[in-house]
Amino acid sequence: LDFPGLFLSDEKIVTVAHRGASGYAPESTLSSYRLGVKMKADYIEIDVQMTADGELIAMHDKTVDRTTNGTGSVKKMTLAQIKALDAGSWFNEKHPIYARDDYVNERVPTLREIFEAFGKDTRYMLETKDPEEHPGMEEKMWALVEEFDLRKHVAVQSFSRDSLMKIREWDKDVPLFQLLWYNRPARISERALDEIAAYANGIGANYLRIDEGYVDRVKQAGLLIYPYTVNYQVNMENAVKWGVDGVHTDFPDRFLEVIEEL
Ligand code: G3P
Ligand code: CA
């Protein structure tokens, strides 16, 4: 992998496999990440949370209810309790056209297991999820990044500015993305952009509420813009026309097809 500078390149529009290639495989599992890597996404995106016994795992929701056969809050469960759950069968039931027998009994992976599986063969877009509810998660996450010597293979994103600022203190070069979510047409002031630019390299914002003007403003402020989660090719083409720097998608193959044709 060619480092550094991929994410800053004007030449390349970055593909982020959102929770892995999660359109085709149960999100945030090794199957989903494996497929993201196989499809040659530039990054696999990982929502990082911490269990009651302090282990970092990949899971989006605060509870295990939607993506496993169990129930309960991630932060109140131990890793052993979470590891006892089936994190794949729900996908087969929900998406029969992509169902596969080997998704049955898929386990929730730890961040360590993901790093062990892919090492330097990919890049990791790590999201600190609800860090205020998981005190100490950034320290553990960064220690793991260092243990696997992956500093140059990670970017970090978060809805929490404080969480990103912590990481920035430890590494002045790691790409950081401030996540924003708009429930109406996105607007952002120059002041807000300047504040973000003081600690982050880019913004991740929900595609459906942004437009070309927003993309322009973000770029004028010297920030990158990676919209999420863009799953239809017509929207991917729009995003590319607006000049986005990367896209988060559950279907990395679809986006790679779009940018190959440019
Ligand atoms: O990749 C951006 C996106 O992951 C942020 O939203 O809710 O899917 O984690 P969410
Ligand atoms: Ca995420």
Q: CA 195, 199, 203, 209: dihedral to nearest 10 degrees?
A: -30
Given a contact cutoff of 8 angstroms between Cβ atoms, the answer to whether 171 and 151 are in contact is yes
Domain segments of the chain as ranges:
6-62+109-260
Rounded CA-CA distance 54/25 in Å is 27
Rounded CA-CA distance 202/224 in Å is 4
**Backbone phi and psi for residue 260, each to the nearest 5 degrees, phi listed first:** -65, -30
**Ligand 1 pocket member 179 (CB < 6 A):** yes
**Ligand 1 pocket member 245 (CB < 6 A):** no
User: What is the model's pLDDT at position 6?
Assistant: 66
User: What is the model's pLDDT at position 144?
Assistant: 98
For the 6-62+109-260 domain, the top CATH level (class) is: alpha beta
User: What is the model's pLDDT at position 10?
Assistant: 67
Rounded CA-CA distance 165/130 in Å is 15
Other C-beta atoms closer than 10 Å to the C-beta of 202 total 26
User: What is the model's pLDDT at position 262?
Assistant: 82
**Ligand 1 pocket member 228 (CB < 6 A):** yes
What would the two tokens of residue 16 be? 């982020």
Per-residue pLDDT in tens (0 to 9) along the chain, 262 residues? 555 556 666 678 999 999 999 999 999 999 999 999 999 999 999 999 999 999 999 999 999 999 999 999 999 999 999 999 999 999 999 999 999 999 999 999 999 999 999 999 999 999 999 999 999 999 999 999 999 999 999 999 999 999 999 999 999 999 999 999 999 999 999 999 999 999 999 999 999 999 999 999 999 999 999 999 999 999 999 999 999 999 999 999 999 999 998 8
- Please give the distance, rounded to the nearest whole angstrom, from the Cα atom of residue 45 to the centre of ligand 2: 6
Active site residues: 18, 60
What would the two tokens of residue 187 be? 């607007």
User: What is the model's pLDDT at position 13?
Assistant: 95
User: What is the model's pLDDT at position 9?
Assistant: 64
ipTM: 0.97
What would the two tokens of residue 2 be? 């060619």
Minimal-distance CA residue to ligand 1 atom 4: 18
The residue written with tokens 């995106």 in the block is 45
What would the two tokens of residue 9 be? 């390149």
| C-alpha pair distances (Å), 261 with each of 9, 42, 122, 229, 234 | 18, 17, 23, 21, 13
CA 152 to chain CA centroid, Å, is 16
